[in-house]
Amino acid sequence: MIAVRAREIPPFIVMDVLERAQVLETQGEEVIHLEVGEPDFETPACIKQAAARAMTEGKTHYTHSLGLLELREAITEHYQHKYGVSVKPENIIVTAGTSPAMFLIFAALIEPGDEIILPDPHYACYPNFIRFLGGRPVYVPVREENGFVYEVEEVKKAISPRTKAVLINSPANPTGMLTPPEVIKELAELGIPLISDEIYHGLVYEGKEHSALEFTDNAFVLNGFSKAYAMTGWRLGYLIAPSAFIRPMQKIQQNFFICAPSIAQYAAITALKEAQPDVERMRAIYDERRKYLFSALKEMNLAPKRPPQGAFYFFINVKHITTNSYRLAFDILEKVRVAVTPGIDFGKRGEGFLRLSYANSLEDIKEGLKRLKTYLERYAG
């Protein structure tokens, strides 16, 4: 018999959309991909060269379970330089992607029945990690009219004796919105640890991203190289945590993952030290697409009230068309060959929305919107 935790974990629906799109492609159909949250850029050349060097030099062994000291020092410098916060290398654990870092943090925090406060909508996988570890996600609505930002009063009301942390993700997946610094500050003042997923930092077009560490030491930071450095397949991320948690998390890492990939770690040192111009180049291109999409969606009456400020997503309200975003997304795929992510993937309050990713060329985005327009005219009357 298959264990309940394995039977009951929900799928990551965006992967189901992608896999259905791939079936259509093997049948010769041309699908426009606006579903996946993955940079369309290649990893910058200097990073690839650093990896090739590491490989040639035989740096192919296990590393320290916390990660290479040189990489942790580079992360320290990055946080000092970008946010003016001082982080010690011994408070960092390098992991095989941000996802394992999430696992380590939740595993170190949650006893059965403990609660983690999450925004709704939210990145699809958070509640699944929490439930898998016996915890309970407690949702606080974030509303379109409020820029999809927490209302601190509502967070306060959601706190119980079992609350272990409040999660913030800014800029956010799926909404692309930033949490203003004064809100992070107020959340920090609640005295509950913050878990701050900073994976989209570096991809901000309006305003400025802030680390939770600017406001409190009582925080767990998640970050990684997948998005800003276009390194999804390298599988490299990290966490920053209070000292008392490091040894327990290190033991989990040693047992379950041993260490993060060595070649990716060497490459990441170069990413932090040399790839900022590449990050800026990619950011500028995303911004151009974002501006195009906002005005094109406006013409289609699908634009959000405010343009997203970061990441590479638009979360568009389609409640006037459907209350079943799952069915709508698959119908759009079948009828006009555009893959989009149903809002329900991101929680109950994501229902009635679709997420469009602009991690795709402007040419594809234009073709995708043209097809969406056709779909709306023909099938969504």
**Residue 40 in the binding site for ligand PLP (CB under 6 A):** no
Query: What residue ranges in the chain does DSSP mark as E strands?
Result: 32-33, 92-95, 115-120, 136-141, 163-169, 194-197, 219-224, 237-240, 313-317, 338-339, 341-342, 353-357
Q: Give the nearest distance from C-beta 379 to ligand PLP in angstroms.
A: 29
Near ligand PLP by CB under 6 A: residue from 43, 76, 173, 196: 173
Q: Which residues contact 133 (CB under 8 A, 6 or more apart)?
A: 106, 107, 110
| Dihedral over Cα of 231, 232, 236, 238: its sign | positive
**Residue 170 in the binding site for ligand PLP (CB under 6 A):** no
Q: Give the nearest distance from C-beta 197 to ligand PLP in angstroms.
A: 5
**Among the candidate windows 2-10, 67-75, 93-101, 352-360, which touches ligand PLP by CB under 6 A?**
93-101
Footprint of ligand PLP on 101-160 (CB under 6 A): 123
173 close to 200: Cβ distance less than 8 angstroms: yes
Q: Using alpha carbons, list the distances in angstroms from residue 247 to 65, 86, 200, 251, 254.
A: 11, 20, 27, 6, 10
172 burial (CB, 10 Å; 0-12 / 13-18 / 19+) is: buried
**Residue 237 in the binding site for ligand PLP (CB under 6 A):** yes
Near ligand PLP by CB under 6 A: residue from 232, 262, 270, 357: 232
**Residue 198 in the binding site for ligand PLP (CB under 6 A):** no
**Residue 308 in the binding site for ligand PLP (CB under 6 A):** no
Near ligand PLP by CB under 6 A: residue from 97, 261, 304, 307: 97
**Among the candidate windows 27-35, 95-103, 131-139, 185-193, which touches ligand PLP by CB under 6 A?**
95-103
354 close to 329: Cβ distance less than 8 angstroms: yes
Near ligand PLP by CB under 6 A: residue from 35, 114, 197, 278: 197
30 close to 338: Cβ distance less than 8 angstroms: no
Q: Give the nearest distance from C-beta 58 to ligand PLP in angstroms.
A: 27
**Among the candidate windows 92-100, 155-163, 272-280, 328-336, which touches ligand PLP by CB under 6 A?**
92-100
- 331-336 contact pairs (CB < 8 A, 24+): 331/379, 332/372, 332/375, 333/17, 333/20, 333/21, 333/24, 333/31, 335/375, 335/378, 335/379, 336/371, 336/372, 336/374, 336/375
Q: Give the nearest distance from C-beta 285 to ligand PLP in angstroms.
A: 19
**Among the candidate windows 177-185, 224-232, 244-252, 340-348, which touches ligand PLP by CB under 6 A?**
224-232
**Among the candidate windows 96-104, 270-278, 294-302, 355-363, which touches ligand PLP by CB under 6 A?**
96-104
Q: Which is nearer to ligand PLP, 120 or 197 (CB)?
A: 197
Residue 48 CA, distance from chain mean position = 23
Footprint of ligand PLP on 10-39 (CB under 6 A): 37
Near ligand PLP by CB under 6 A: residue from 226, 265, 309, 325: 226
**Among the candidate windows 91-99, 106-114, 291-299, 344-352, which touches ligand PLP by CB under 6 A?**
91-99
**Residue 167 in the binding site for ligand PLP (CB under 6 A):** no
Full DSSP string of 86-128? ---GGGEEEESSHHHHHHHHHHHHPPTT-EEEEEES--TTHHH
User: What residues form DSSP beta bridges with 138?
Assistant: 117
Binding site for ligand PLP (CB under 6 A): 37, 97-99, 123, 169, 173, 197, 199, 224, 226, 232, 237
